[in-house]
Structure 1
Amino acid sequence: MTTTPVRLPEHLIHPFAPAGRANPHPAYRWLRANDPVHYDAASRLWLVTAHADCATVLRDPRFSAAQGQRERARDDALPPSMLTTDPPDHHRLRAPGALLLGPAAVRPLGVHLAADVDALLDRLPTDRPVDAVADLGRPLATAVYARLFGLPAEQLQRFEALARAASVNLDPMVPPARAALGRSAAGALTHYLDGHTTRALLEGLRVPLTALAADDRLSRAEMLGVLNLAVIGGWQPLAESIGNALHLLLPDRPAVARLAQADEDAARLAVDELLRLEAPIPFTARVTTERVELRGGELPPGARVLAVLTAANRDPDVFTDPDALRLDRNPNPHLGFGGGPHFCLAAPLVRQTAALLLPRLVGRFPALRGPAGAPDWDQCLVPRRLRALPIDLGGEL
């Protein structure tokens, strides 16, 4: 099969280029409308941008996640995990992983997480702006993992430092020097989790981590791989989702007022809509094992494919007013958590946590405002995140 590359119009910036990363949506919009299965000559990747085609990439067994890491612009291999394996190995790892992150494991944490959220809001200063990323998102994510892992208070700072350092491994196109630091940090994180798991079992802690560690379906190394993935693939995206959400929400004052009064079901609908528009994980990688015909075009065997979830989530064939924020959008078949066998195991945790924080935040501080200028997006591709989001709480009720 010969490929004639389709080029973006000159007025559009490539979404992977440094100048295009802050706002990739215009380029993705053009690709979705004009070349939804697009061969990108610069990266040698196929960019799939339509919702129906992305859903096929995520669900069809002809798209291999195990081979998908070959799209990484790095020479280091990721360890075997739920992220980088195909069925049946994927299912063998995922079933025990539900003991850590599945709905039955997460649901009982709700009361404790609500108390953690209230304590976090109690600590916020009202006499100066706070950073939604550093002062809300990161402490919230750390509090969540403290509940999952049974971390003592004196270990939280160390855990957060390790989680932040290891999260560089999320970005498939990070420069080599940072990639080397990320590998080292992932090793340090695994060593820490190994020691903490031993202590938690000896102390008889009854937390999701010890439920996973006591399960005999995984070897110790595999169990630690699940824990490592849960941190690298979960801590930073959860932390960054709060800043991304507030960036979208705060300019829409009627939406802020509605969310302040939202019940649990309405809050979860709102969280899904905010994730639809700016999910921290913007794409996922696969490799075709044979020729595949999608609605938008044909892929050859061995094609290195990115399902561009952030483009699929704004597909007008699926979403009315796709660029608009509609907190009550229902149904909302967004792909912010992926789909198919690799659907994000932590999705219930993210929904529950964000649905606890956001209504409490805007309810307690109804006059809060975000910055007036353009958002300060980080240059990394994964996760999609803000460097900072200063917000003025505007006093307390």
Structure 2
Amino acid sequence: MTTAERPVIVPLPPHLTHPFAPAGRADPGPAYRWLQVHDPVHYDPYSRMWWLTSHAACGAALRDNRLSAALGQRERARDDALPPSMLTTDPPEHQRLRNPGQLLLGPAAVRSLEGVLGEEIDALIGALPDRLDAVEAIGAPFATAVFGRLFGLPRTDWARFELLAGAASVNLDPLAGSERAAAGRAAMAELSAFLTAHARTAVAGPLGRLMADDRITEREKTGILGLAVVGGWQPLAEMVGNALYWLLPRPEAVAALRGSGGGDARHGDEDGGAARLLVDELLRLEAPIPFTARVATEEVPLPGGTVPRDGRVLIIIAAANRDPAAFEDPDELRPGRTPNPQLAFGAGTHFCLAAQLVRTASALLLPRLLGGFPGLALTTAPDALAWDPRPIPRRLLRCPVSTTGSADAD
């Protein structure tokens, strides 16, 4: 790169901490907000990446196929190759894999699950103790029940699936160290073998329809299964703790959700409208996957700046989702916010295929959970709860609650 081609570096003010520094990870918001105003297409000399923080720049980048997701996945700080899937390919290869993936995660597949998921949720919350960690006791079992039903797994295999899904989710983190990355690779290999062995016997349901599709190879089917778990299980598991963190200190938001079902607050409104709006708002505030990487295959002008050819790009969804230029009161929970152009599931060609599954399952859970326990309360002050210091996923380490309303400190 010549001197003329070198990017202009706009430094963060001294009072702001770099968002990826250990001290900045817990609350990167102030740095993101400053960048949105002063340098929304920002070259970060530490990561040597172009950071996009405004909603306009992030939305445009996600929809621009000149920014390659396939090349972006190769920018992870790891030397392992992810299996072929929608995540690791660009059009037209991406669409060739995405069409069969709809059989597993598309609207028809999700609709076929709604009835049984309601039964699973009622059974899960019906067995909750008085005091619990919502991350461990609700989030992970909830995500496991959703995918156990989606894949038609025997219930005796659910515990093993949950263990493997949690371990393999390390693959979401592009900055995982060598030891964690190696553990994630091993877990992913074991998860793939486990799912492939089960899938070979599937003849019905969404999984059976995917396995019967002859448009893609067996290895590509395994890649789709793995991506479904890594991209769907973890966001579902973490959504619960993150949601309760925002909801429980706000009685008016809880009351609105409980009252959305008329005569039966436990089951939400008939079409899930209020609950679905709430889920989108919660995902806007705490996107489990807060950023995604791309590489520019040519110079790409964006709102607020231009990314050069071969530029490595970090689309910071967590920043875009709290951009005051796109959202009124961006740091506040508005349960009925509409329109809500949040980017938690991405946009454009790579819009998350599991989005409808995550939205639908979450909208089924929250009214039942909050309606079933009128006294549900955090037992630790929200500002004392600890967030995972790793940038991906965005998650509470613990979310201690009482189902009876006791708010004694944990």
TM-score normalised by length of structure 2:
0.93
Separation of aligned partners in 1, 2:77 and 2:159? 31
Match of 1:142 among 132, 141, 144: 144
Residue equivalent to 2:248: 250
Counterpart AA for 1:21: R
The 5 A counterparts of 1:3-14 are 3-14=7-18
Q: How does 1:297-376 map to 2 (within 5 A)?
A: 297-370=305-378, 371-372=380-381, 373-376=383-386
Task: State the percentage of identical aligned residues.
Answer: 61
Are the counterparts in 1 of residues 134 and 401 from structure 2 also a CA contact under 8 Å? yes
How far apart are residue 199 of structure 1 and its match?
Answer: 2.7
Match of 1:130 in 2: 132
Partner of 2:205: 207
The 8 Å contact of residues 72 and 172 in structure 1, kept in 2 or not, is answered as yes
Cα offset for 1:200? 2.6
- Which residue of 2 is the match for residue 223 of structure 1? 221
One-letter code of the match for 1:86? Answer: D
Equivalent residue of 1:320, what SS? coil
Q: Measure the CA separation in 1 of the matches of 2:17 and 2:367.
A: 36
Residue identity in the other structure for 1:31: L
Matches within 5 A, 1:1-397: 1-126=5-130, 129-201=131-203, 206-262=204-260, 263=269, 264-370=272-378, 371-372=380-381, 373-394=383-404
* C-alpha distance in 2 between matches for 1:8 and 1:54: 20
Q: Distance in 1 between matches of 2:336 and 2:10?
A: 37
Residues 45, 71 of structure 1: 8 Å contact kept? no
**Counterpart residue type for residue 74 of structure 2:** R
Q: Distance in 1 between matches of 2:42 and 2:385?
A: 28
Equivalent residue letter for 2:327: F
Question: Take 2:169 and 2:303, find their aligned partners in 1: how far apart are those partners?
Answer: 35
Shift of 1:77: 2.1
Indicate conservation of the 8 Å contact 2:377/2:405, yes or no.
no
Structure 1 counterpart SS, 2:384: coil
Count residues in correspondence: 390
Q: Per-residue deviation at 1:183?
A: 0.8
CA distance in 1, matches of 2:149, 2:336: 30
* Whole-Å separation in 2 of the counterparts to 1:77 and 1:8: 34
- The gaps in structure 1 that reach 5 residues or longer are none
Q: Which amino acid aligns with 1:249?
A: L
For the Cα contact (< 8 Å) 1:276–1:336, is it kept in 2? yes
**What do residues 303-327 of structure 1 show as CA deviations (whole Å, max 9, x unaligned)?**
1101111111111111111111100
Letter of the 2:336 counterpart: D
In structure 2, what is the Cα distance between the partners aligned to 1:37 and 1:291?
13
Q: Which amino acid aligns with 1:72?
A: R
Return the alpha-carbon distance in structure 2 between the equivalents of residues 219 and 183 of structure 1.
Answer: 21
1:231-265 CA-partner distances (Å, limit 9, x unpaired) = 11111111111111111111111111111112211
Q: Which runs of 4+ in 1 moved over 6 A?
A: none
Distance 1:236 1:324 in 2: 24
Shift of residue 79 of structure 1? Answer: 2.1
- Between the aligned partners of 1:154 and 1:338, the Cα distance in structure 2 is 35
Partner of 1:306: helix, strand, or coil?
strand
In 2, distance between residues paired with 1:70 and 1:37?
21
CA drift of 1:70 comes to 2.9
Query: Aligned-pair distance for 1:95?
Result: 0.3
In structure 2, C-alpha distance between the alignment counterparts of 1:301 and 1:75, rounded to whole Å: 23
Root-mean-square deviation (CA), in Å? Answer: 1.2
Which sections of structure 2, spanning at least 5 residues, go unmatched? 261-268
Q: CA deviation at 1:395?
A: 5.7
* Separation in 1, partners of 2:81, 2:41: 27
3-state DSSP of counterpart to 1:2 = coil
Q: Given that residues 70 and 304 in structure 1 are in contact (C-alpha distance below 8 angstroms), is that contact kept between their aligned partners in structure 2?
A: no
CA contact (8 A) 1:269 1:329 kept: yes
- Give, in angstroms, the shift of residue 198 of structure 1: 1.7
Q: Which amino acid aligns with 1:145?
A: F
Compare 22-31 and 141-150 and name the one that shifted more. 22-31
